[in-house]
Amino acid sequence: MPLVVLCGRPGSGKSRRAAELQAALGGPERQAHVVAEAEGGRAALRAEVERRLSRRDVVIVDAGNELRSIRYELYCAARQAGTARCLLHCAGGPGGPDEPPFEAPDPRNRWDRPLFTVHGEEPLPLAAIRAALFESAPPPPHRATRTQPLQSSGFLHDLDRVTQEVLAAVMAAQRSGAQPGEVVRVPGVAEGLVLNRPVSMAELSRLRRQFISYTKMQPSDENLPQLASMFLQYLSRSIQ
């Protein structure tokens, strides 16, 4: 399950390095998967990484990961999964006025280490990367990332299903022309949601992940009938 996170400016060679890593780290004993940026942006990228981290394979994130907050999210995902990780910074790139801002990794930040930096055509430090991924113990999960034991085996399934249904209802209402200030209704739920502005699927997915993380900390079967209402209340407080 080791995770390799690439970061760098556009044109710095991240995709080429991801292909090199995939060839070097995969083999008969394990597969190496490359997860690249796609439609859906940051939320979709993290969701795919989290899905892959449930398997005993290497996951390579081929994306700009230009912000500290993005790299921190991936660090938390690896820590929650209990797997080792490292960060590969592809330095350089042509740069330009229209490219997104890039927050360079800093090894003093725990989410930016172990940090390896490559310039231009220099070879990858494969021995050091292998040591970081396969020979070091992953950090133990801390309170913020530790998944608490569920009181019901069906609780997590219901939590996932209900929150997905809420998101689907919100997106359907927006597609059908709901205007700011209108009440968005979820089938079977008395409480509605008033949106003061359009909300993207990426933002809703991020809020859904946060709500699930918070709810799993205090699971209770008594909350099952109120999950949809609780999520709607959370969205109402979070979307300003």
Per-residue pLDDT tens digits for 104-125 = 999 998 889 999 999 989 999 9
User: How far out from the chain centre does Cα 46 lie?
Assistant: 2
Residue bearing tokens 């709901």? 178
User: Quick one: CA dihedral 64, 69, 75, 79, positive or negative?
Assistant: negative
Give the pLDDT of residue 158.
84
Whether residue 62 is predicted with pLDDT greater than 90 in this model: the reply is yes
Average pLDDT rounded to a whole number, residues 36-59: 78
Give the pLDDT of residue 59.
94
User: How far out from the chain centre does Cα 200 lie?
Assistant: 16
Predicted confidence band of residue 54 (pLDDT cuts 50, 70, 90):
low
Length of the chain, in residues? 240
Fold entry, domain 3-135 = Rossmann fold (3.40.50)
Question: In angstroms, rounded to a whole number, what is the distance separating the alpha carbons of residues 158 and 134?
Answer: 36
Question: What tens digit of pLDDT does each residue of 138-170 get?
Answer: 766 554 444 444 445 577 788 888 899 999 998
Least confident window among 69-78, 136-145, 224-233 = 136-145
User: Quick one: CA dihedral 85, 209, 143, 103, positive or negative?
Assistant: positive
Specify the 3-state DSSP secondary structure of 178. Answer: coil
Q: Concatenated DSSP letters for 142-161?
A: -TTTPPPPPSSTTHHHHHHH
Could you tell me how many helices (H) and strands (E) the chain has, helices first? 7, 7
Question: What tens digit of pLDDT does each residue of 180-211 get?
Answer: 888 888 888 887 888 888 888 998 998 888 88
Question: In angstroms, rounded to a whole number, what is the distance separating the alpha carbons of residues 208 and 212?
Answer: 6
Q: pTM higher than 0.75 for the full model?
A: no
What b/e string do you get for 188-203 counting C-beta neighbours within 10 Å, with b at 16 or more?
Answer: ebeeebebeeebebeb
Angle, CA of 180, 183 and 188, to the nearest 5°: 150
Average pLDDT score, the chain? 83
- The residue that leads in pLDDT, 81 or 140, is 81
Give the pLDDT of residue 148.
44
Give the pLDDT of residue 182.
84
Give the pLDDT of residue 140.
64
Computed on alpha carbons and rounded to an integer, the radius of gyration of the chain in Å comes to: 20
Whether residue 232 is predicted with pLDDT greater than 50 in this model: the reply is yes
Question: In angstroms, rounded to a whole number, what is the distance separating the alpha carbons of residues 55 and 57?
Answer: 6
Domain coordinates in residue numbering, the chain: 3-135, 153-239
Average pLDDT rounded to a whole number, residues 25-37: 88
